[in-house]
Amino acid sequence: MNRHTHTDPNTLSTECCLVSWIGLTDHQCAEEDGVELGPVASAIGAAERFDRILLLTNYPFDRSRAYCEWLERKTGCVEPQLHEVELASPINYAEIYEKVSFELRQARLPRNGVELTFHLSPGTPAMAAIWIMLAKTRFPAHLIQTSRQRGLEVVDFSFDLASDFLPEYLQRSDARIERLADARVPVPGFEKIIHADRGIATQIERARRIAAFDVPVLILGSTGTGKELFAEAIHASSRRAAKPFLAVNCGAISRELANSELFGHRKGAFTGAMVDRPGHFREADGGTLFLDEIGDLPLDAQVRLLRALQEKEITPLGESRPVKVNVRIIAATHRDLQADVAAGRFREDLFHRLAVGVLSLPSLRDRGGDLGLLIDHFLSTINADGGLSPEALHKDIAPQARDVFLTHSWPGNVRELYHTLVRAAIWSQDRVITADDARAALLIAGKRDEPVMGRALGGGFDLQGVLDEVTRHYLASALAASGQRKKRAAELLGFANYQTFAYWLRKHGIESEALEADEEQKNLSKIKNSL
């Protein structure tokens, strides 16, 4: 490896810069301080001196800072520049690509006079893959790897990765990605997601960005949180928008017919196969296939799905030759897929193949002031749907009825809220939905929570725990009903002042969200007053 700064006065000076993740092995070697150096130190020791070392870490910053101090002492290298990178998952390709690109741009790279080298060995395979993609496209760089057996090696390719192997999503313009990520720009589909909560706003922003990347998406969330709505919005915002969007509930397909439903079959392939069937993959060709409740898919169908994702081809039952398909997969589940992987119910390789763009949708009870917004939106929709029916009255909601809805826990989330409002509107005989109408609708919505006053004593009964549970419930309900405004929440709970309410929030560990919301409200007021 020739890594040095040119000193010939007739040539421009070139700065040699090493960029690498700090991996677990690197940390362990530094903490043991033995003979083993680890990948980063081995590379620095085997190459001629680097003028600049830029290290990325998704480990605790103090641990990696101690590593950098050890590295400097051990190798005599220049002081490394340490950048902390927060990753939701170290195997999320889209997120790693985005974060690493940002860090390189922040370091004003690439630029003339700087020769980049990316180290492939530290970190996950996904991190190494992103280095290769960046080196062959936006950030031209040398690639190196280290191993105990072969030491330092230069990694090179005799082909043009950018044109031959780079996924389509990395060839798209930055301008389009930024446009989709900008919440101020209307994007088809996303305007349907009614929200004000910052948690759901974060997921929408991520979904906008994912829409520009033609990669698989995994949407996690409880039943009724809007996973299909997000999938539709991603499809509508992608370049596949003009092609089919097909939603399939994997939990509703019998185990015996799962392969036939998804991948198709030839007439006579099995008993009852009276005609050829194309299957959902070919029906959605060119577009998006939304696989809801992916965790319910049988293991043999999981194997076929993995091949379809990897090879972009399927083999219908009864056929011997595979068929090429061009389908984007968006999968969703309310299950803990990682627990299913550990239990052997879901293939680990399929999980990692799906979990490229990952969204995690919060439950309705965790969405702050969104409940009031959704009540108003759904009631407006219900009124509009019944506008042409002579027997349908325009419905308003009484404040007492609104309070009933605002204090309900909504285990069925947004879907339960909508259907409860429909029932309340139908059963209300007058123009105003009353508290009695609201309670009657909730009774049919499903099983109510276990009554606090009727719990059996003994068997681990904890009075203080029950009291704390009740307190947290009403504190959270008051915050939701008040739109996270402490003064109004204190009034709803009968506190003499909001300072007392703030004390109860701190005592039960739910202070920060309310304080942040208050601070945001103050900032908005300042902006309005300055206009």
Q: Which two tokens stand for residue 397?
A: 């909601």
At which of 166, 193, 215 does a domain end?
166
171 is a domain residue: no
At which of 313, 334, 362 does a domain end?
362
pLDDT score for 459: 54
pLDDT value at 190 more than 70: yes
Q: Taking all residues of the chain, what is their mean pLDDT, rounded to a whole number?
A: 83
pLDDT average, residue stretch 196-205 = 91
The CATH number that applies at residue 425 is 1.10.8.60
pLDDT average, residue stretch 38-46 = 93
Which residue, among 186, 190, 218, has the nearest Cα to 94 in the 3D structure?
A: 218
pLDDT score for 1: 46
10 is a domain residue: no
pLDDT tier at 479, thresholds 50, 70, 90: confident
Q: What is the pLDDT of residues 344-356, one digit of tens each?
A: 889 999 999 999 9
215 is a domain residue: yes
Distance CA 69, CA 71 (A): 5
Contact status, residue 445 vs residue 422, Cβ threshold 8 Å: no
Distance CA 260, CA 444 (A): 37
Q: Are residues 342 and 430 in the same domain?
A: no
The CATH number that applies at residue 185 is 3.40.50.300
300 is a domain residue: yes
Q: Are residues 152 and 188 in the same domain?
A: no
Q: Are residues 229 and 102 in the same domain?
A: no
- CA 100 to chain CA centroid, Å, is 18
Q: What DSSP state is assigned to residue 171? A: G
| Residue 307 three-state SS | helix
pLDDT tier at 270, thresholds 50, 70, 90: confident
8 is a domain residue: no
| Domain residue limits at 188 | 181-362
Q: What DSSP state is assigned to residue 162? A: H
The larger pLDDT score, comparing residue 285 to residue 492, is at: 285
Return the minimum-mean-pLDDT range out of 100-104, 461-465, 496-500. 461-465
Q: Which helix (H) or strand (E) holds 154?
A: strand 151-155
- Find the radius of gyration of the CA atoms of the chain: 28
- Three-state SS for 500-523 is HHHHHHHHCCCHHHHHHHHHHHHH
pLDDT score for 30: 94
Q: Are residues 473 and 524 in the same domain?
A: yes
Length of the chain, in residues = 531
23 is a domain residue: yes
pLDDT score for 158: 53
pLDDT value at 247 more than 50: yes
Q: Are residues 192 and 293 in the same domain?
A: yes
pLDDT value at 446 more than 50: no
Q: What percent of the chain has pLDDT over 70?
A: 81
Q: Are residues 416 and 480 in the same domain?
A: no
Q: Are residues 280 and 325 in the same domain?
A: yes
Residue in the block written with tokens 């105003």: 432
Return the minimum-mean-pLDDT range out of 169-183, 426-440, 496-510. 169-183
Q: Are residues 208 and 196 in the same domain?
A: yes
Return the minimum-mean-pLDDT range out of 139-148, 455-464, 488-497. 455-464
At which of 116, 131, 166 does a domain end?
166
The CATH number that applies at residue 55 is 3.40.50.10770
Q: Are residues 437 and 501 in the same domain?
A: no
210 is a domain residue: yes
Contact status, residue 289 vs residue 325, Cβ threshold 8 Å: no
The larger pLDDT score, comparing residue 169 to residue 463, is at: 463
Q: Which two tokens stand for residue 247?
A: 């939603």
Q: Are residues 324 and 189 in the same domain?
A: yes
| Residue 156 three-state SS | coil
Q: What are phi and psi of 27, to 5 degrees?
A: -60, -45
Q: Are residues 390 and 475 in the same domain?
A: no
pLDDT score for 3: 43
pLDDT score for 456: 58
Cβ neighbours for 62, distance < 8 A, ≥ 6 positions apart: none
Q: Which two tokens stand for residue 245?
A: 């969007």
Residue in the block written with tokens 């998952």: 89
* Cis omega (within 30 of 0) for bond into 110: yes
Q: Are residues 268 and 236 in the same domain?
A: yes
pTM of the model as a whole: 0.54
pLDDT score for 161: 46
| Residue 502 three-state SS | helix
| Residue 117 three-state SS | strand
Q: Please enumerate, as own/partner, the contacts of 510-513 that have beta carbons within 8 Å and a separation of 24 or more.
A: 510/472, 510/475, 510/476, 510/479, 513/368, 513/479, 513/484
Q: Which two tokens stand for residue 94?
A: 């889209």
3 is a domain residue: no
How many domains does the chain divide into? 4
pLDDT average, residue stretch 133-161 = 82
pLDDT average, residue stretch 321-348 = 92
